[in-house]
Amino acid sequence: MAVRILIVEDEQIIAADLSNNLRRMGHTIVGTAISSADAINMAEQVRPDLVLMDVQLEDGMSGTGSARVIQDRTGAQVIFITAFPGVFLQDPEQMTAPGICLEKPFSRIQLEAAVSAALEESCIES
């Protein structure tokens, strides 16, 4: 069974790379959003199993805030992707379960490990 994934990333090249890698891993990309509002609306419509969420988004809203809203409304797991992982060290309360953060740039192996960890946490069969 393919896992349904929503990508929330305002850098198009990173979003495209994520999409390609995740498809090669056998997952289904249900959408790509560049802002918090789009991400929340899209998540409510497509009900993803997993969200890859950039921490700094185009519309200025924190990816951590939108991740909480998406988790509350859909139950999706969230993996954060950021060039600034120190934000979670300064304020650990921003991290949502399962507490996974990928630092940009990351490798396909790191992406696979993060997705596997998130899926194990949520008991989703991939």
Identify whether the C-beta of residue 68 lies closer than 8 Å to the C-beta of residue 75: no
Q: Is the pLDDT of residue 53 over 70?
A: yes
Q: How distant, in Å, are the alpha carbons of 7, 66, 87, 119 from that of 48?
A: 10, 14, 25, 12
Q: What is the pTM of this model?
A: 0.87
For residue 126, what pLDDT is reported?
Answer: 38
User: Could you tell me how many residues make up the chain?
Assistant: 126
For residue 9, give the 3-state DSSP assignment. coil
pLDDT single digits (tens) 60-80:
667 788 889 999 999 999 999
Point out which residues pair with 78 in neighbouring strands: 51
Report the distance separating Cα 21 and Cα 108, nearest Å: 7
pLDDT band at 55 (very low <50, low <70, confident <90, very high): confident
For residue 71, what pLDDT is reported?
Answer: 92
Q: Whose structure tokens read 């899209």?
A: 42
Round the average pLDDT of the chain to a whole number and report it.
86
Could you tell me which residue, 40 or 93, shows the higher pLDDT?
40
Q: Is the pLDDT of residue 35 over 80?
A: yes
| Domain covering 4-122 in this structure, CATH number | 3.40.50.2300
Q: Cα 27 from chain centroid?
A: 13
Point out which residues pair with 29 in neighbouring strands: 5
